[in-house]
Amino acid sequence: MKRHLTERELIEYRFKLVSDSRIEKAAEHLGQCGQCRKHLEKLVRRFAALDLLREEITVSDDLLRQVVEQAGQPVQRRIIPFRKSAWLSAAAAVLVVGLLLLLADNLSERVTKKPEFAKEPTGIEGEIKFEKDTEITRAERLDKGVPAMKTFAMAPSKEEMRVGKALGGAAASGVAGGEVQEQPPFAPASAIELVTLPRRENVQLTIYNSADLTLVRERRNLTLKKGWNWLQFMWANTLIDPTSLTLEPLEQKDKVEIEQLVFPARLRELGRWLIRSEISGQVPFEITYFTSGLAWRAFYMGTLAKDEKTMRLEGYVRVDNGSGEDYENAQTRLLVGTVHILDQIAELAKRQYPYDRPRGPISDELGGGRQYEWMDRDAILLGDIAQLAGSGIAGLHPKEIKKEGLSEYFLYTIEGTETIPDKWGKRLLSFEANDITVKSLYKYDEERWGRNTIRFVAFTNDEKHNLGQTPIPNGDVKIYSRADDAGYLSYVGGTSIKYIPVNEEVELNLGPARLVTVEPKLMDFKTENYLFDSKGNVSGWDEVQTWQIETTNTRILPIEVEITRGFETAYWQIKFGEKDISYEKYDVTHARFKLNLSPRSKKTFAYTVRTYHGEREQSLRESMTKETAK
């Protein structure tokens, strides 16, 4: 090979990306050509930089534990038989179509035979006759295949079973002669035929950061039968607060009524809604409840422009789910502010009975039913879950609705939906704002930060600064700056910010600055103007200190420096040698100087402060009064 090797050929030779024969040829050429050898060495040196990222990365115990925990559930085998064999798919399709035709035919027959539904008041509407609850032990439940996880299930009522039997099948469900039985059944006949309902259509999470509290609103399409329907809700292994459960139909509200929610005795971690339906078919429902175990936190990344006059700010939130429940495609809303809660939700979730243990003897006061005084012990937290108050159990006191502390909050809604499985965390982009005008400021205050000059970046959360759409929740912020033309970032500093309301200015403390220094030097000190009392003791004097402040800016940008000096007394006066220096009285014992320094410059100024002590304080007061009078 007479010509020189190209960079591509050298790379392919170095990493053996071509055939052996071409590698041999390249090696032969390299043996003779010094220029190509140099080129190769240069490339090898450049690729050596890749080894900088070769460090060992270890899995933290925490991560390991999380991964192993998430695998705690048994492996679910999915059978997908129709994927590869076309004939199998065709056979299955024919089978399905045949079944559908058969079903449609059967249904149409049934519809024509069914008498029209007529709701006639019987005079016993709303009155409940309590019978002995059907006891379903845990063992029975397991035998009958009731799922242990939180789920919804529907069961036919006792009445349905009886009527169904009388009519010879599943055609009747809580209906007799086409009419819904007005007397609600006390409990489902049994846990047999429990049906797991369809998945959530959608779910909305509102996570309250100040408390371990999340409001979950989910929509599910439930298939109801005409008559009485039991819907069972189980919250085992989750942190759901059962006292907050509500259910509401979103359509057919005039035909579907939620009668009551019962928490059967001796059956733990489940509740049953009794639904009266005048129709058969699918009805969308909204189910609302509180859960704990979900949390979120905000953090931000600011990138200063090269001139540090503007900043790009990106806000993120990390949502962590430890609630025991997977939330798929959830619309996530984050609430900033403080809410008052009556109980810790996690505690409520762990209770053996949702409203604590039932107490007292069975009384006949409520139509021969039980004593339900325990039902109104715990109040429900929000107005939109007031459903329980009207849950249809006649004679019960309505639930108390608490709304304390809910007035000052702000709700963030994350765009789109997110899937947040249990034990998982997810980081989401919450907002981006470009070209936020910022003010860079350096502050020096020995009493607060010692001999360090502290760097600040200030901006206002308002529309003028391309923000102001919402308050900014508290969180950690990291600030970077563009270090060069290639856009590489340099870490400048980080801090925590507190909740920033709209139109409020915030100053981010980015820590000590190395390139801006302030050095005060005491140049002179004396005491004078002594006063003596009648016994010859010193009763007053002045202290006079002369300070020289040297401020250095080694940066390539102009800066503003704010220097705060304290005098430990309210009686002080300042005089300057130069005329272009001024100060403002920051408070009774402090003065503040502001300086503007051009790039790579130094500024020195001196001031003399006279402090008055003892009876000399009076003389200062008098002179100030005179000045004010003038």
Partner 1 sequence: MDNTDRSLIDAHCRGDRMAFAELVRRYGGSVLGYLVRMSGSREQADDLFQETFKRVHEKAYMFRGTQFKSWLFTIATRVAIDNLRRRRRRLVSLSQAVDCADGTCEQLNTVAVTDGSCEPSAEVAMAEQKEQVRRAIEMLPARQRAALVLAYYQQLSYREVAEMLGCSIGAVKTQMSRALRTLAQRLPDISGEVK
Nearer to partner 1 by Cβ, of 406 and 428: the residue is: 428
By CB under 8 A, residue 299 contacts partner 1: yes
| Beta bridge mates, 227 | 277
Closer Cβ to partner 1, 491 or 525, answer by number:
491
What single string gives the DSSP state of each residue in 365-405?
TTTT----GGGGSSPBS-GGGGGGGGSS-TTPPPPPB--TT
Q: Mapping DSSP to helix (H, G, I), strand (E, B) and coil, where does residue 350 land?
A: helix
Residues 409-438 that bind partner 1 (CB under 8 A): 421, 424-427, 429, 432
Q: Which of 253, 278, 251, 285 is nearest to 182 (CA)?
A: 278
User: Which of helix, strand or coil describes residue 40?
Assistant: helix
Residue whose pair of structure tokens reads 């079973």 in the numeric block: 161
Query: Looking at beta carbons only, is 368 or 599 nearer to partner 1?
Result: 599
Q: Residue 129, interface with partner 1 (CB under 8 A)?
A: no
Q: How far is the CB of 461 from partner 1 (least distance, A)?
A: 21
- Residue found under tokens 């509407």: 125
83 is a site residue for partner 1 (CB under 8 A): no
Check: CB of residue 465 under 8 Å from CB of residue 500.
no
In the structure encoding, which two tokens stand for residue 409, read together? 């909050």
Please state the closest distance from residue 434 (CB atom) to partner 1, in A.
10
Q: Provide the minimum distance between the beta carbon of 76 and partner 1 in the complex, in angstroms, as a whole number.
A: 7
87 near partner 1, judged by CB under 8 A? no
- Segment 13-16 long-range contacts (CB within 8 Å, at least 24 positions apart): 13/40, 14/40, 14/43, 14/44, 14/47
Interactions with partner 1, residue window 511-530 (CB under 8 A): 511-515
Residue 315 engages partner 1 in binding (rule: CB under 8 A)? no
List 24, 32, 38, 70, residue binding partner 1 (CB under 8 A): 70
- Residue 19: CB minimum distance to partner 1, A: 10
Site for partner 1 in 150-209 (CB under 8 A): none
Residue 312 or residue 439: which is nearer to partner 1 going by CB?
Answer: 312
Q: Which of 31, 34, 75, 537 binds partner 1 (CB under 8 A)?
A: 75
Nearest to 355 by CA among 370, 372, 331, 367: 372
Handedness of CA 308, 309, 314, 315 (dihedral sign): positive
Q: Which of 2, 21, 35, 74 binds partner 1 (CB under 8 A)?
A: 74
Does residue 17 interact with partner 1 by CB under 8 A?
A: yes
Using CA of residue 114, residue 117, residue 118, residue 120, what is the dihedral sign?
A: positive
The residue among 64 and 101 lying less far from partner 1, judged by its C-beta, is 64
Task: Output DSSP code: residue 277.
Answer: E
The span of 82-90, 509-517, 530-538, 566-574 binding partner 1 (CB under 8 A) equals 509-517
12 binds partner 1 (CB under 8 A): yes
Asked if 303 interacts with partner 1 (CB under 8 A), we say yes
| CA nearest neighbour of 421 among 518, 324, 344 | 324
Site for partner 1 in 463-482 (CB under 8 A): 476, 478, 480-482
Shortest Å, Cβ 325 to partner 1? 16
Strands 425-437 and 538-553 turn out to be: unpaired
* 148 interacts with partner 1 by CB under 8 A: no
* φ and ψ at residue 498, rounded to 5 degrees: -95, 165
Q: Between residue 18 and residue 57, which ones bind partner 1 under the rule CB under 8 A? A: 18, 42-43, 45-50, 52-54, 56-57
